Structure 1
Amino acid sequence: MGLMVALPVTAGAQTVLMMAEEPGCIWCAAWNRDIGPVYDKTGEGAAAPLRRVDITDPIPGDITLARAINFTPTFVLLIDGTEVSRLEGYPGEDFFWGMLGMMLDRNDVAFELHNATQPGAQ
């Protein structure tokens, strides 16, 4: 069982992790291989469900970004459709989980901490 971080977002707020990707992105493929199969089974995935956006298409109208996306993958934490934090790139599993945890924590999103020793464990 993981550690529960109890910092609630405003009641009723919708939190989503947007993954900006594009065809042919090797780092997107690495994330899909390493994290994709387990993301929705983790505390982080429960707190911020994944929403994929192809940057070769227009950004959906219900998303407000702080600035343009220039690199893939880019992970954007959205609260009620508005960007509150961003992670550009994917240099590996440990970096991703650590940075995502900090993004959630800094924005008062409650989540069960991912157990890095057991991929996909809660």
Structure 2
Amino acid sequence: MDRFILSLAAALFVLFSTPLWAMELVMAERDGCAYCARWNAEIAPIYPKTPEGVFAPLRRMDISERPEDIEFVSRPFLTPTFVLVDAGKEIGRIEGYGGDEMFWAMLTVLLRDHTDFDIDALNPTN
């Protein structure tokens, strides 16, 4: 019985210490950032409803934070910076925000080049 409880505890530890989403889009932002505010107005309300947002859920952080669970290639210094993270490791980034069309185009390239995301598989009309 003790062995079972120990095994169960170990399994629960692994389950709950691993993020639910291995893939995420981390937004480094700061208070007073006009481009962050623009992104928040133009993209934030729809992002979680998009295939991209489902595939790589948004996680926000202040640019001054140093999350221990993310291995950045380099420290973000512009706001906003969008870092595509897979299992805690940076695999790509978008620095700055130049409008909705540019954001979606750059995110599409990141996802296409660094993940198995396939928008066409999610869009049966194509």
**Which residue type is aligned with residue 79 of structure 1?**
D
Once the two structures are TM-superposed, the CA of residue 109 in structure 1 deviates from its matched residue by 3.0
- Distance in 1 (CA, whole Å) between partners of 2:33 and 2:21 is 31
- Distance in 2 (CA, whole Å) between partners of 1:81 and 1:107 is 14
In terms of Rg, which structure is larger?
Answer: 2
Structure 1: gaps of 5 or more residues: 1-11, 114-122
**Which of 1 and 2 has higher RCO (CA within 8 Å, sep 6+)?**
1
Structure 2 counterpart of 1:3? none
Identity of aligned residues (%): 45
Structure 2 counterpart of 1:7? none
Structure 1 counterpart of 2:91? 84
- Distance in 1 (CA, whole Å) between partners of 2:77 and 2:115 is 27
Structure 1 counterpart of 2:80? 73
- Distance in 2 (CA, whole Å) between partners of 1:91 and 1:110 is 23
Once the two structures are TM-superposed, the CA of residue 13 in structure 1 deviates from its matched residue by 7.5
Q: How does 1:27-42 map to 2 (within 5 A)?
A: 27-42=35-50
**Does the alignment pair 1:104 with 2:73?**
no
Structure 2 counterpart of 1:15? 23
- Asked if the contact 2:84/2:92 (under 8 Å) is kept, the reply is yes
State TM-score, norm by structure 1: 0.78
- Asked if the contact 1:47/1:111 (under 8 Å) is kept, the reply is no
Aligned in 2, Cα 1:54/1:43: closer, same or farther, shift over 3 Å? same
Structure 2 residue aligned with 1:95, among 81, 99, 102?
102
> What do you get for the CA RMSD once the two structures are aligned?
1.6
**Which residue type is aligned with residue 85 of structure 1?**
G
Aligned length: 101
State TM-score, norm by structure 2: 0.76
